[in-house]
Amino acid sequence: MQIVQQILFILLSAAAIYLFAKKSRFIYRNIFLGLDEKLNDQPSRRWRNLLLLAFGQKKMFRNPLVGVLHFFVYAGFVIINIEVLEIVLDGVLGTHRLFAAPLGVFYTFLINAFEVLALTVLIACAIFLVRRNIIYIRRFRQNELDGWPRTDANLILITEIVLMTLFLFLNASDTLLQTRGAEHYSQHLTGNFVISQYLQPLLSGISNEGLVAIERTCWWLHIAGIFAFLNYLPYSKHLHILLAFPNAYYARLDPMGKMDNMQSVQNEVLYAMQPELAPADAAPPAKFGAKDVFDLSWKNLLDAYACTECGRCTAACPANQTGKLLSPRKIMMDTRDRLEEVGRNIDANKTFQDDGKNLFSYITIEELRACTTCNACVQECPVSISPLDIIYELRRSLIMEDSNAPQEWNAMFGNVENNFAPWKFSPDERDKWAEELAAQG
């Protein structure tokens, strides 16, 4: 019987690792469909961002209560899963609590710490479920979360509650079997643990055989649930658990509000003013801005996959607050949806086949025009995502490729071109207001 369990466990582990690796390769390939961008300067600042924003969750603590609760969920779930190493080795080797004997008292300390963290995860997840589904918080009620995104968020929270509950009942049934001297369980006496001991009264009336069934069921469901969670991550907004770290490291370090000039446009202006500088083989720019995911940088596409869908960007957006259609969160979700669609197209056809769609099939012109480029969304994002960069590139394509701009914008562009300022005044008349002031004085 034991060897059968070991074989089943090895097969389950291999399948979980294979499926996760397959989806990870798909995402990695998709991200690097984007244009190249160098973001490896100032490594000390980048490591600092990684430590403060990804590990330390610095921006989350602007709301201290939510920050603490989120940190409990994050730290608790990550640290508790250190125990997965023991579970995996027990499953492969057919042992039981492999680390108990060599670690001794320290093992009991670790499990006690894990149980306390498990309880904090349970409480925090329950509070987050209430916040999302009962308390009216506007950023959790917006249209882009209708359907699967809202279900996804709730499903993850419920899954974490179930996994932590299984962990506590696993320990409660195990330690109760130890006290009864049950074979296989009494080999390593750990003593009761700090939280699970209070669950033992619920199990005390059950026979040894029933307790073994409960312990084994909890053990299998716990590890199978972790493997399932691992493979669910790449399909979920909770992929940010993994991608927040590279996203924080590769964040742009320029001051917010600095817009990158297009070198191709600068060259065109330069060559028009000084034709002698133009190379003999100078080719016109292929395109301006972005119409599809291929025209964005790999960092923009990493941003799309790293989005937590928390909505802090949208809650801070002045355009959204005044009732306009723009939602920076939706920009990121739409970019990710289009990127996934492109990836499936490539997988099906070996190379991308034109499907008649692009990013403008997901993101409307009205949304793009509503952006004030204030950088509030960039400032608020806890994992260093910049929806504004994508908006910039899409608007560049609209204006420079399609000549699609509101009449008011076209008038301003004409004034800048002719008068070197947004206003319809000749440069020669620009200082007349000062002359009038002098005359009045």
**Which CATH number is 15's domain given?**
1.20.950
Positive/negative CA dihedral, 415, 420, 423, 426: negative
**pLDDT on residue 378:** 93
**pLDDT on residue 280:** 66
Q: Are 313 and 203 within one domain?
A: no
pLDDT at 337 over 80: yes
**Helix (H), strand (E), coil (C) string for the chain:** CHHHHHHHHHHHHHHHHHHHHHHHHHHHHHHCCCECCCCCCCHHHHHHHHHHHHHCCHHHHHCHHHHHHHHHHHHHHHHHCCHHHHHHHHHHHCCCCCCHHHHCHHHHHHHHHHHHHHHHHHHHHHHHHHHHHCCCCHHHCCHHHCCHHHHHHHHHHHHHHHHHHHHHHHHHHHHHHHHCCCCCCCCCCCCCCCCHHHHHHHHCCCCHHHHHHHHHHHHHHHHHHHHHHHHHHHHCHHHHHHHHHHHHHCCCCCCCCCCCCCHHHHHHHHHHHCHHHCCCCCCCCCCCCCCCHHHCEHHHHHHHHHCCCCCHHHHHCHHHHCCCCCCHHHHHHHHHHHHHHHHHHHHHHCCCCCCCCCHHHCCCHHHHHHCCCCCHHHHHCCCCCCHHHHHHHHHHHHHHHCCCCCHHHHHHHHHHHHHCCCCCCCHHHCCHHHHHHHHHC
434, part of any domain: no
Q: Are 217 and 245 within one domain?
A: yes
214, part of any domain: yes
**pLDDT on residue 316:** 93
Residue that terminates a domain, selected from 214, 249, 284: 249
What CATH number is attached to the domain comprising 383? 1.10.1060
289, part of any domain: yes
**pLDDT on residue 132:** 86
State which residues form the domain around 120.
2-31+63-249
% of the chain residues with pLDDT over 90: 49
**pLDDT on residue 260:** 78
Mean pLDDT score of the chain, rounded to an integer? 88
As a whole number, mean pLDDT of residues 399-409 equals 87
102, part of any domain: yes
pLDDT at 441 over 70: no
Q: Are 123 and 267 within one domain?
A: no
As a whole number, mean pLDDT of residues 93-110 equals 87
258, part of any domain: no
| pTM of the shown model | 0.86
Residue that terminates a domain, selected from 249, 284, 305: 249
**pLDDT on residue 197:** 93
Q: Are 287 and 422 within one domain?
A: yes
Residue that terminates a domain, selected from 218, 249, 280: 249
Measured CA to CA, the distance from residue 11 to residue 433 in angstroms comes to: 82
Q: Are 298 and 210 within one domain?
A: no
Q: Are 210 and 74 within one domain?
A: yes
204, part of any domain: yes
Q: Are 300 and 340 within one domain?
A: yes
As a whole number, mean pLDDT of residues 168-196 equals 86
Measured CA to CA, the distance from residue 1 to residue 17 in angstroms comes to: 25
256, part of any domain: no
Q: Are 122 and 167 within one domain?
A: yes
The total number of structural domains that make up the chain: 2
Q: Are 84 and 119 within one domain?
A: yes
**pLDDT tier for residue 136 given thresholds of 50, 70 and 90:** confident
40, part of any domain: no
Q: Are 203 and 95 within one domain?
A: yes
pLDDT at 359 over 80: yes
Q: Are 217 and 278 within one domain?
A: no
Q: Are 228 and 310 within one domain?
A: no
